[in-house]
Structure 1
Amino acid sequence: MNVSQVLHMNGGVGEASYSNNSLVQRKVISLTKSIREEAITSLYCSTSPRTLAIADLGCSSGPNTLLVVSDFIKVVEKFCRDSNHESPEYSIFLNDLPGNDFNNIFISLDSFKEKLRSEIETEMGPCYISGIPGSFYERIFPKQSLHLVHSSYSLMWLSKVPENVSNNKGNIYMSSTSPANVLAAYYNQFRRDFSKFLKFRAEEVVEGGRMILTFLGRKSDDPSSKECCYIWDLMAMALNDMVFEGIIKEEKLDTFNIPEYTPSPSEVKLEVLKEGSFTFDQSEVSEVNWNALDEWNAFACESHSCESLNDGAYNVTQCMRAVSEPLLIDHFGESIIEDLFKRYEEILIDRMSKEKTKFVNVTVLLTRKP
């Protein structure tokens, strides 16, 4: 699997698109609003650049893409208004892999700028927005050109499937049944990738610049913890059922592994300190329900009908489909997709009616050292 060519969220605005199935990611963004506001305020107060350069890495497409950009600009404009300071110009860079639906973003830019200007009480500085295709595990910007880097729910994706995981049979990700070498391979790939990310951003971010990074992660020190692996374990169950029925060949399943690593806060901090270019200023751990539409899952069996359980499982299925469908099609072909996600939804209905199901988020704030 060539991850840089295959990995992207479902484009467009259809039923299974990321644009229509990214409420979990939106809720996570809302949970990190205070740390973002603190970062942009302290950065702008200390530097007051004439042009403020902001990069959103792993921007994807849809309603979330420009949400963070809007928040950053509103905070700076409020500061300028309150302090009688001239507004800066804004240079916004939206980065993702080449397969990302950048056209969807570009089409929305005029309406975004118009809405933003209407929400800001005074005339804001000019805003220039560019799409930057490429892997953030490589250099993608000129040296010392960025003041602020933001990334949410992107850095858990690896640059490639870890090597030497061919014995991860019956699984598609790390799992409680994965051999020790598989867990080690995933962790080592994360360490290499995240270290590269920090090294390259250190070249691109100005002295005193900030990075706000949010990972899909885990609280546990156990990389095969249910809190981070369960969502993929249930998809593996659906795929194994299809192997049992002869729909998918067993060797085909055994050669499919998700290129993702969900780190703990301590693992993120360790790599930041080891790479050494950034100070580790702050970290937060938060949770959001798999079904981001409501908070029912703790009481599902007692308070909600089967219909609401089915709706919740459908929402989670669509969210996961928007994220994983391109990877699955690349490996298994398109013919299995409808059957797979129908089975996955049925499994989710059963499990979500019995268990608390939450995603864990790890957010860190870093500052570029002198």
Structure 2
Amino acid sequence: MEVKKLLHMAGGIGKSSYASNSKFQEKSILAIRPLLEEAVIEVHKSLLPEKMVVADLGCSSGPNAFLVLTEVMKIIGKQCQQLGVQPPEMQLFLSDLPGNDFNTLFRLLDDFEECMKAEKDASSVLHFVAGLPGSFYGRLFPSQSVHFFHSSNSLHWISQAPEGLDNKTEHVPLNRGNIYIGKTSSSHVVNLYQDQFKRDFTLFLNSRFNELVPGGQMVLAFLGRKENDQNGPLNSVMEAISKLLDSMVLEGLVEEEKLDSFNMPLYAPSMEEAEAVINAQGLYEIVHIKMTEVNMDTIQGGENVAMSMQSVFGPVILGHFGDGIVDELFSRISKFAAEHLVKEETKVHFLAVCLKKKEQM
């Protein structure tokens, strides 16, 4: 699976699009708003740049991308009023993989500009918005050019499903019966996922270190899990999808080999895992790191749960299995969710991190 080409949220503004099904992600962004405010204020106050570059990594195609920019602009505008200084000119980048629906994103730009005119704190801030396609697992910007990075709901997507899961030498898939880390997954499978996350997160941190100005910061929020718990909400959702796909294999709707070769390019690390990778690099001061819980009460009813899942996981499933099964699969997910998932209060663990670039010796 070529993740860089296939991974994106469902585009457009239709019923199953990400733009129409991202209320939970909006809630998770607002949950870390105090952390965002503290970091943006500190960067501006300590550097007082005449021109300030801010980038949202993994912006996707819905209104949440502009929610982040709106909050940053309001924070900067209010801060400048309090300090009695001229606001910096702001270059705002929206970045995601090339498959992202940038067309839908840019159609929302006029609405964003109208909102900015009406915002008392942000209306005086001169700003320029640009899109930037590319993977954040590598360089995106010139050296020491960005003051602040934000990324929400993205870093749990790894650059690829871990190599070795197909076990081609013995012709027996290591993770048979699972599309992620499940109850029957071996410790070797878990280690492969952990190693892939470590490699990717290390590359992310190194790339951003080169791009941040001295004193620059970033706020990151992504799916996490409790230490030594591989049976969290993400695992449960993936196991449900896996079982439904398996039932479609038994009915002849999905090829068994196709299912055996499918593994989600996801990983939800524990706080200890993420912290260990950060400390191993020695590039950042950890200003804040905490595991938070976000309730999924914004998604009500089996059909809405299914559409929310389809907006996130649909394109990856489509890319691997083809479009012949997607509607049927998510119809079954809707029924399953109505019977099981929506009867329980589901809280998702999010890792919220604020990092400050260390001074180079």
Structure 2 unmatched runs, 5+: 167-173
For 1:154, the aligned partner's letter is S
Is the counterpart of residue 64 in structure 1 residue 70 in structure 2?
A: no
Task: Say which SS state the counterpart of residue 55 (structure 1) adopts.
Answer: strand
Letter in 2 for 1:331: H
Counterparts in 2 of 1:172-321, with a 5 A limit?
A: 172-222=179-229, 224-293=230-299, 311-321=300-310
RMSD: 1.3
Aligned position for 1:16: 16
Q: Is the 8 A contact 2:291 2:349 kept in 1?
A: yes
Indicate how the Cα distance of structure 1 residues 235 and 37 shifts in structure 2: closer, same or farther if over 3 A, else same: same
Give runs of aligned pairs for residues 97-246 of structure 1, distance below 5 A: 97-120=97-120, 123-166=123-166, 167-222=174-229, 224-246=230-252
Q: What are the Cα deviations for residues 66-85 of structure 1, in whole angstroms up to 9, with x where unaligned?
A: 10111011011111112211
Q: Which residue of 2 aligns with 1:358?
A: 347
SS of the residue corresponding to residue 267 of structure 1 reads: helix
* TM-score, L = length of structure 2: 0.95
Mapping of residues 65-84 of structure 1, within 5 Å: 65-84=65-84
> Which amino acid in structure 2 is aligned with residue 206 of structure 1?
V
> What's 1:343 paired with?
332
The question of 1:93 aligning with 2:100 is answered no
Q: Give, in whole Å, the separation in 1 of the partners of 2:197 and 2:130.
A: 28
Which runs of 4 or more aligned residues in structure 1 lie more than 6 Å from their structure 2 counterparts after TM superposition?
none
Whole-angstrom distance in 2 between the partners of 1:316 and 1:275: 39
Amino acid of the structure 1 residue aligned with 2:336: I
Gaps of 5+ in 1: 294-310
1:322 equivalent in alignment to 2:314 = no
Question: Does the aligned pair in 2 maintain the 1:214–1:363 contact within 8 Å?
Answer: yes
Q: Distance in 1 between matches of 2:197 and 2:297?
A: 27
**CA–CA separation in structure 2 for the residues paired with 1:265 and 1:211:** 17
- Alpha-carbon contact 1:158-1:260 (below 8 Å) kept: yes
Aligned residue in 2 for 1:334 = 323
How far does residue 123 in structure 1 lie from its aligned partner after superposition? 4.7
Scaled by the length of structure 1, the TM-score of the pair is 0.92
Q: State the number of aligned residues.
A: 352
SS in 2 for 1:90: strand
Q: C-alpha distance in 2, partners of 1:333/1:19?
A: 22
- Return the letter of the residue paired with 2:184: T
